[in-house]
Chain A
Amino acid sequence: MSARKPISRVKAGTTEAVWVKWSLIGLALVFMTLFLFLPLAAVFTEAFRKGLGPFVEALKEPDAWSAIRLTLLTAAVAVPLNLVFGIAAAWSIAKFEFPGKSFLTTLVDLPFSVSPVVAGLIYVLMFGAQGWFGPWLQAHDIKIIFAVPGIVLATVFVTFPFIARELIPLMQAQGSDEEQAAIVLGATGWQTFWLVTLPKIKWGLIYGVILCNARAMGEFGAVSVVSGHIRGQTNTIPLHVEILYNEYQSVAAFAVATLLALLALVTLLIKSVVEWRHEKEMREAEAQPPEAPVTAPAVAPATSTVQASQGAIA
């Protein structure tokens, strides 16, 4: 008995008493329910408050359809643009040393900390009627503000850092030994990227793309400043929700909002799957015998990757 006592005391010392543990879990779950689960559930219950009929009615409206089309179009332009930028920025920042690198990394983060409303405003000041290019655009009959191009630009701005933010720490942690080996062995730059780098960063890439997409489709503040709220023309789904809500069409507003809530759920699902897959690969890489030297370097990067991707989302 006496010999075992210190061991059990240490064990008790690094875990809490059972009642403490379950009260902490209970408190955390109550908080999560109130602040996260209830708002999500409320979207669906409010949407079906008057049954299926009004719900379907709200989604069949032509204005709702044009909002859906515009949102899809916006994301289809913004996400690929930021994807190419993210890869280029991560390649230059992670694989090379140059002066001003950390300042550049800070600048990449800048759009995250700018208020969405300010993000919209800067494009109004550039392209609006009284903006820098306003008179020229008017003379050439090009509309950017209160039109689709402005919405796309504002969306590109607010989703600017998502993919770069994900890839930079990931590629920095992985180093460039394998790429250098590929080049020395005679691969071209593109071959090295497609065959060596891309497979290593694919999870981080997917992760960044889905988060970027969720924000692109859901952005409200920045888009609201540049859109002009022209029904059927410059309304994205979130703006359409706002208009319906302000017109006291609560059921219709929530019905359209369920589309965005579903988008959020799908995003969370893909994100979780990506994380689980990644953890699985990491464990498999660790379990691999040391005589497989090709995969051995992958162990160290993989460990830091989860950290990096978790840090980057925050």
Chain B
Amino acid sequence: MTTSVSHAPPKRGGAKRVLPGFRLTLGYTLMYLAVIVLIPLSALLFKTSTLSWDQFWNAVTAPRVLASYRLTFGASLIAALVNVVFGLLVAWVLVRYTFPFKKIVDALVDLPFALPTAVAGISLTALLAGNGWVGQYLEAWGLPVAFKPAGVVIALIFIGLPFVVRTVQPVLEDAEKELEEAATCLGATRLQTFVRVILPSIAPALLTGFAMAFARAIGEYGSVIFIAGNMPMISEITPLIIIGKLEQYDYAGATAVAVVMLVISFVLLLVINALQAWQRRHTGAPA
């Protein structure tokens, strides 16, 4: 994006800047960002700074909170891994094959973005509970899912799927068939071509999708709480710990746990940005 115009000084007197509205739009952007996002987030950090280190440490390492980290991170990791496998499968099928109702299937991939999380939560619970369409078979096989940690994983798979599909899909669409043809001509089997040629070219996109699904899963609340059962130490996710502390007016404790989550999500955001930059370099796509 470095154009010759970009060397113009950012201050006044840049006669080369033809387009108007820079000060207005940037000023408004910064002000709105500060009022809606930055100042409220700094309230969180400010509130934390009123805690002593011991108070903070005790709040974020209480056994019940530690158990919630294990569940949140473990379930998010499993769900994101499942999404990598099935997200790649769905993206592959949508890009490479034609089959009946493909457009509808393609549109349905975005359902988790469009369906409110609370609705997803109660609906998955109804499906997977002992008397539900799917749950009755799972119980018969001795694999109850609802109101168990496994239910959390199911909800997080639902939430994360489109992230992987929608990051991998455009990369697969742009993949050069010539490379695959060359591999075949040189004697590679189809599986070898997939593992050695196709997979490396979509690896950055796959990893980005994984990180996005994982980041979303960690903060997810609405779809999980209905199906989780919310038993302390067993099926209680970290966002629910924050809600629980708030309901007991333990603002300091809620804030401390929230800061931990905020730091983690910020780190993940930076990782995702770095991954996307890598992906752009990898594919050589502009911007």
Contacts and interface: CB of A to CB of B under 8 A. Distances in A.
Contact of B122 (A16, A156, A189, A241): A241
Contact of A126 (B40, B119, B193): B40
Given A97-B10, A115-B219, A118-B258, A92 B29 contact: yes
B77 interface: no
A2 interface: no
User: Dominant SS at the A interface?
Assistant: helix
A219 to B, nearest CB: 7
Interface string A84-118: 11011101110111110000101111111111111
A112 B97 CA distance: 33
Given A10-B184, A125-B43, A98 B10 contact: yes
Interface string A271-314: 11000000000000000000000000000000010111011011
B218 A122 contact: no
B5 interface: yes
B67 interface: no
Contact of B26 (A98, A106, A125): A98
Contacts of A122: 40-41, 43-44, 258
Contacts of A91: 21, 25
B232 interface: no
Given A10-B185, A310-B166, A179 B19 contact: yes
Contacts of A27: 89
Contact of B108 (A6, A37, A217, A250): A37
B116 A46 contact: no
A313 B114 CA distance: 11
A157 B158 CA distance: 23
A166 interface: no
Contacts of A176: 19
Interface size class of A (residues with CB under 8 A): 35 or more
Given A92-B25, A156-B36, A314-B212, A245 B219 contact: no
Contact of A115 (B40, B86, B166, B218): B218
B119 A261 contact: yes
Interface string B164-188: 0011011000100100110111001
Q: Which of B17, B126, B218 has the most CB of A within 10 A?
A: B126
Interface residues of B, number: 115
A268 B108 contact: yes
Interface stretch (A28-36, A57-65, A198-206): A28-36
B222 A217 contact: no
A53 interface: no
A272 B107 contact: yes
B72 to A, nearest CB: 10
Contacts of A28: 86, 89-90, 92-94
A44 to B, nearest CB: 10
Contacts of B44: 118, 121-122, 125
Contact of B93 (A24, A113, A169, A184): A24
B108 A220 contact: no
Nearest to B120: A39
B29 A89 contact: yes
17 contacts: A13-B193, A14-B177, A24-B89, A32-B105, A85-B28, A85-B29, A96-B26, A111-B37, A114-B41, A115-B261, A121-B44, A122-B41, A160-B37, A184-B18, A218-B118, A268-B110, A311-B170
Interface of A: 6, 9-10, 12-17, 20-21, 24-25, 27-29, 31-32, 34-40, 42-43, 46, 84-85, 87-89, 91-93, 95-99, 104, 106-118, 121-126, 128, 130-132, 153, 156-157, 160, 169, 172-173, 176, 179-180, 183-184, 188-189, 192-193, 211, 214-215, 217-221, 224-225, 237-239, 241-242, 245, 250, 253-254, 257, 260-261, 263-265, 267-269, 271-272, 304, 306-308, 310-311, 313-314
Interface of B: 1-3, 5-6, 8, 10, 17-22, 24-26, 28-30, 32-33, 36-41, 43-44, 46-47, 86, 89-90, 92-94, 96-97, 99, 103, 105-120, 122-124, 126-127, 132-134, 154, 157-158, 161-163, 166-167, 169-170, 174, 177, 180-181, 183-185, 188, 190, 193, 209, 212, 215, 218-222, 226, 239-240, 242-243, 246, 251, 254-255, 258, 261-262, 265-266, 268-270, 272-273, 285-287
Given A115-B261, A225-B246, 9 more contacts: A32-B105, A36-B161, A38-B127, A92-B25, A96-B17, A118-B44, A132-B43, A221-B221, A313-B113
